[in-house]
Structure 1
Amino acid sequence: MLTASMEGTVTAARTNDLPSVDEIRTQLERIVSSPEFPGVGRAAAFLRYVVEEALAGRGSRIKGYSIAIEVFGRNETFTQEDPVVRIEAGRLRRSLERYYLVGGRNDPVRIDVPKGGYVPSFSWNTAPAEHIETVPDPTSPPRSSEPWWRARRAVLAYVGAALAASGYLAAVGLASYAPPRPSGETFPDRPTLVVAPFANLGDGSEAQLYTIGLTEELLTALPRFKEIKVFGRETSKSLPSDVDASRVRDELGARYLLAGGVRASNDRLRVTARLLDTSDNEIVWSQDYDNDLGSGDLFAIQTDVARRVATTIAQPYGVMAQLDAANPSPDDPGTYECTLRFYAYRSELSTEAHADVRHCLETAVARYPTYATSWAMLSIIYLDEDRFRFNSERGSEAPMQRALRAARRATQLDATNTRALQALMMALFFNRELAEAMRIGEQALATNPNDTELMGEFGTRLAMGGQWERGAALLDRAIALNPGGGGYYHGTRALAAYMLRDYPTAVSEIERADLQKFPLYHAVAAVIYAEVGMMDDARREGEAFVRMRPDFLPNIVAELEMRNLQPADTARLIAGLRKASMPIPQDVADTGAGVGITSDLQPR
């Protein structure tokens, strides 16, 4: 039986064109009884609990502690160190996202659990028919002469005031309500960055010229990283160099602000750069760059500083990605979370993470079919089904063909997307189209020479194709620019050092590679350890490899043919595997004839 206050809530909700309590409960039952919603685990109980608490007007009491006790049966000693609620909340969000893409696509009511809390939000999945004519076209520009962000804020303020007056916000937890995304939108939200004009902190005209040039160089280098969005030159020029971060957040909706200053003194030039989180004005990264004006020209200096700043903050494993992984934005968590998961997977190369990322990216391209970066990442995931035998799916189309199709789709959507070109290079390489793969790799590197993910991958492909020295040099650059990157940088560099007969470096790099879940890591480690006489370690790594990939050595010829090794390199690796006591079939000669390389330690 509804209380009087709750009855008032229902009436107000209908007046403001939001779902009623009965409509929300009907939708809840529709979701939990659907075959598209997980029938195992506690997802249904989790969803029922938060929805009913919100409908009862107890949205403010929905916390991790109460969920742990009421849903997961924890006792009163539960603390936040127990991650069960956070983990299950993430699974529930992904389950809801998938449900509304498949079985619930045409459902009238949408239930979400926005990130940043556990209070559900309720909205119409589609506009009610009787109100369609009165809903403005979301793709139409505002009629007001005001900037778009001011117009949007005015609309949201009006809606928020109306809802608050009705009492519905407090009753059903719509404080975290986000308007449904327009169906015509083709790109997901990504981390957004505004570059403020760098300030001239000195008196000289040279420093003033440098500040202008540096800002321009940054606005050229940063947008090459497609995983982020960068506001353009006109926006940057309209801001003062000391713009307040809260203004950037409120008026532009950007999460990050890059600002800084330049000071010239005699022949010395110091550039200070800092990255701020606009939600709380916190400086999350800062760096000083000192240059000698007498040892280089001004343009070369500003280009180098811009490259270093852009690579540090915007690359896939850079400052912004690390911050978002630790504290993701509540805006559109599903699709950008796929990006973060993809790079986390690339750092460990495990079959478990592969399955999770594949599902996430397939959902992402269904929701945003024209987003090139998601197609590129999905191509690499499909390729890993083939080359690593990760979670291979049976179907009418082979994994390699799915990888090629997804990569070509990505490059058709955005011919300058570095990740799309990388994916196409990789698919062509493993399809044994070496010359074309190398051509695409060179094109990708020219598109963004600061992308360490691409450097590591292209360096690996060059090395495997016989250019070991150039491949090693690119890997060294990737490691220097991204010392905290994935272990596969070090793993592939170890293999290159082995092939170049630099055994101390090979041992050092393989010990820095943390790829225990990746089978081919153990094969390369076994070869290196055997070469330097560490036979106990070689046997241990060889046994781990055979245990993880028992199908590899009996089919070594077929496994190696997809890789483009020179015959002499192939022979040397096969001999190295035998030296490590690996059970190579007796009919496989060490000549390397007709055989490809056994190892692709690079996680791509």
Structure 2
Amino acid sequence: MLGEGDGTVGASPEAQSPPAAEDVRAQLDRLLASPDLDAPARARKFLRYVVEETLAGRAERIKAYAIGTEVFERSADFDAQNDPAVRIEAGRLRRALERYYLSDGLSDPVVITIPKGAYIPHFAWHTPPAEDSAPVPGTVVPVPQVDSPRRRRTPWLVAAAVAVAFLAFLVGLILWSPWRDGASDTPHTSAPLPPSGPTLVVMPFAALGESPAAKTYADGLTEEVLSQFARFKDITVLGRETSRSIPPGADVARIRRDLGVRYVLEGSIRAAAHRLRITGRLLDAQTSAVLWSQTYDEDLQIRDLFTIQDDVARKVATAVAQPYGIIQRSYQTRTGARPPGDPEAYACTLRFYDYRAALSEESHAAIRTCLERAVALHPDYATAWAMLSVLYLDEDRFGFNLRAGSNSPIQRSLEAARRAIRLDPQNVRSLQALMMALFFAQQPAEALAVGERAVALNPNDTELLGEFGTRLGQAGAWQRGAELLEQALARNPGHSGYYSGTLAVYAYMQHDYARAESLIRQAALEKFPLYHFVAAVIYAQLGKGSEATEARDQFLRMRPTIFENWDDEMAKRNYRPEDTAHFAEGARKAGFPVPARTAAETALQAASHQR
């Protein structure tokens, strides 16, 4: 109900035993012998050195200076701080490992990664999730332990595993290119694609100026941008081979004619001394209009090259491809997706974001009908099933257009989400839907496990960050939840009315009522009616009686029966007893008809007597 758009989890769990030294060495040999590890001899030597030093118990010695002198055979006066050779080679090696584990290494038993920020490798079993957790194949990450409100003191072990944070899951069509001899004319897909939707090609970034390093910088940024775009499943991005085959200066109209894409991203890098100027532009291939452009000025003396590449690529992809980004807004306008009754399947998914941005019962009914028609026509359309799962869930949590029948809204939501996952296990929208359904089915630990996987796949998706941050907060991880909401707000300020309301809940739970008031005044109360409840309890705690009364009355006009089931409403949202009691305290001060003694308050009192 609260802090969900209309509305430090407990201690870390035990982890699976790490691979033994012999397992790691066997995997190292497998890596170094594989032609699919796209790394030169020096990078392979780098990998063997850091793995063997770690296995020998000398991880603390793995520093840039030691690598430079012992691996790269630099002299004793090697200046690791000003010479970026080790950092550059480490970045290449990280990328080579990430690509390897997305191709030839998918079935390898052990995963070796080199996390950013250091050169010490990490070893993990490459295992699927435990049987009793959500049935989602793919990357497994550590999950915080969360107690369900109805199982508060039952000890149980969350499905645990070891983090493998893949940079990207490379998907999309690799189509025939008229500029590439011998290319196949058969498209390849890794998952069911939308019945229709926007397509994008990333042209190689151009190197400007006379710096010999500019070409290297441009190639690296092109690669990073492609990897970032691959995380967004609502658009189709042509493969890197197609991208590389396009000659510099190719006419946009010809690109559209020969490749059939709607959007073209182009850019350039100009290098001078230690300065970089990076420019990106998104073009409408049909009209050649510039839909978006941005310039980034960077200093290599302040940040290293790979940090700059990662950051700029993330910013470009987020601005252009996120659910509320340039492409989706342009595509909505072009297709006329907003009017109700639009029969196109893809248009239904675009209208879903309109619904999420301004929850209403009327739009819920129309889009639910539209998506049900879409999946009937296109039963392999994973994204549509995922969105339908959310709409079924909203029947329960918001009371929108509840259908009678043998299956409850939660059951239908879970079934639709799991079907979406079966169709496309790496679809972020499907993972988000399953996370939400599991959360409201009172399986918070399993839900957050799925959320972690989704964020690992696409940390730039603001729709996902906002939803996952909300669920973390409700489960008690207020600090991390707030951090994710702040990230989403920074990347998608146009949706600030939602993020501000949820952050107001977080501030309220921290008893920071002044900040909570500031945030709730920035929230879009007219779009998210349940924020009226949040406003009322904040004003009541601050002693602002008239404003609390106005917000209370507004909320009761919209949801007059919600307090009849207060305990159930709180329990299904997995709030901790202390947080539920805090809400009840503020609600009574605001004059809401909260029960005189809630289940959470009874549980807290019983627990205090047992101490």
301 and 390 in structure 1: CA distance in 2 versus 1, 3 angstrom threshold: same
CA drift of 1:209 comes to 0.6
Given that 1:248 and 1:254 are in contact with CA atoms closer than 8 Å, whether structure 2 keeps it comes out as yes
CA drift of 1:353 comes to 1.1
SS in 1 for 2:387: helix
CA drift of 1:486 comes to 5.7
1:356 to 366, 377, 386: 366
Question: 1:312-351 residue pairs with structure 2 within 5 A?
Answer: 312-328=319-335, 334-351=344-361
510 and 393 in structure 1: CA distance in 2 versus 1, 3 angstrom threshold: same
List per-residue Cα deviations over 1:9-34 (Å, max 9, x = no partner).
xxxxxxxxxxxxxxxxxxxxxxxxxx
Tell me the TM-score normalized by structure 2.
0.66
CA drift of 1:313 comes to 0.5
527 and 592 in structure 1: CA distance in 2 versus 1, 3 angstrom threshold: farther
CA drift of 1:451 comes to 0.6
Q: Which has the higher helix share?
A: 1
AA matched with 1:376: A
* Alignment gaps of 5+ in structure 1: 1-140, 153-184, 596-604
369 and 493 in structure 1: CA distance in 2 versus 1, 3 angstrom threshold: same
* Residue 425 of structure 2 is aligned to residue 403 of structure 1: no
Q: Which residue is equivalent to 2:196?
A: 189
Q: Which residue is equivalent to 1:270?
A: 277
Question: 1:184-263 residue pairs with structure 2 within 5 A?
Answer: 187-263=194-270
Given that 2:577 and 2:600 are in contact with CA atoms closer than 8 Å, whether structure 1 keeps it comes out as no
Q: Which residue is equivalent to 2:401?
A: 391
SS in 1 for 2:476: coil
Q: Which residue is equivalent to 1:310?
A: 317
CA distance in 2, matches of 1:485, 1:475: 11
Which stretch has the larger CA shift, 455-464 or 559-568? 559-568
Given that 2:201 and 2:243 are in contact with CA atoms closer than 8 Å, whether structure 1 keeps it comes out as yes
Given that 1:225 and 1:314 are in contact with CA atoms closer than 8 Å, whether structure 2 keeps it comes out as yes
Given that 1:574 and 1:590 are in contact with CA atoms closer than 8 Å, whether structure 2 keeps it comes out as no
Given that 1:193 and 1:256 are in contact with CA atoms closer than 8 Å, whether structure 2 keeps it comes out as yes
Q: Which residue is equivalent to 1:532?
A: 542
CA RMSD between the two structures = 2.6
SS in 2 for 1:484: helix
CA distance in 1, matches of 2:284, 2:401: 38
Q: Which residue is equivalent to 1:503?
A: 513
Q: Which residue is equivalent to 1:442?
A: 452
List per-residue Cα deviations over 1:487-529 (Å, max 9, x = no partner).
2212111111111223233122212221425332211111112
Q: Which residue is equivalent to 2:533?
A: 523
CA drift of 1:232 comes to 0.7
Count of matched residue pairs: 421
Q: Which residue is equivalent to 2:40?
A: none
CA drift of 1:253 comes to 1.4
Which aligned segments of 4 or more residues in structure 1 are displaced greater than 6 angstroms? 144-152
* Residue 578 of structure 2 is aligned to residue 568 of structure 1: yes
548 and 208 in structure 1: CA distance in 2 versus 1, 3 angstrom threshold: same
Question: 1:421-432 residue pairs with structure 2 within 5 A?
Answer: 421-432=431-442
List per-residue Cα deviations over 1:300-320 (Å, max 9, x = no partner).
211111011000100001111
SS in 1 for 2:293: strand
1:279 to 283, 286, 294: 286
AA matched with 1:399: P
Given that 1:429 and 1:437 are in contact with CA atoms closer than 8 Å, whether structure 2 keeps it comes out as yes
Q: Which residue is equivalent to 1:69?
A: none
249 and 147 in structure 1: CA distance in 2 versus 1, 3 angstrom threshold: farther
AA matched with 2:240: R
Q: Which residue is equivalent to 1:291?
A: 298
* Alignment gaps of 5+ in structure 2: 1-174, 187-191, 606-611
CA distance in 2, matches of 1:394, 1:506: 39
Q: Percent identity?
A: 53
List per-residue Cα deviations over 1:88-134 (Å, max 9, x = no partner).
xxxxxxxxxxxxxxxxxxxxxxxxxxxxxxxxxxxxxxxxxxxxxxx
List per-residue Cα deviations over 1:34-54 (Å, max 9, x = no partner).
xxxxxxxxxxxxxxxxxxxxx
Which stretch has the larger CA shift, 562-571 or 577-586? 577-586
Which stretch has the larger CA shift, 338-347 or 496-505? 496-505
SS in 2 for 1:227: coil
SS in 1 for 2:494: coil
CA distance in 1, matches of 2:467, 2:457: 15
Given that 1:214 and 1:306 are in contact with CA atoms closer than 8 Å, whether structure 2 keeps it comes out as yes
CA distance in 2, matches of 1:324, 1:269: 32
Given that 2:578 and 2:604 are in contact with CA atoms closer than 8 Å, whether structure 1 keeps it comes out as no
Q: Which residue is equivalent to 1:121?
A: none
Given that 1:370 and 1:413 are in contact with CA atoms closer than 8 Å, whether structure 2 keeps it comes out as yes
Given that 1:258 and 1:276 are in contact with CA atoms closer than 8 Å, whether structure 2 keeps it comes out as yes
Q: Which residue is equivalent to 1:178?
A: none
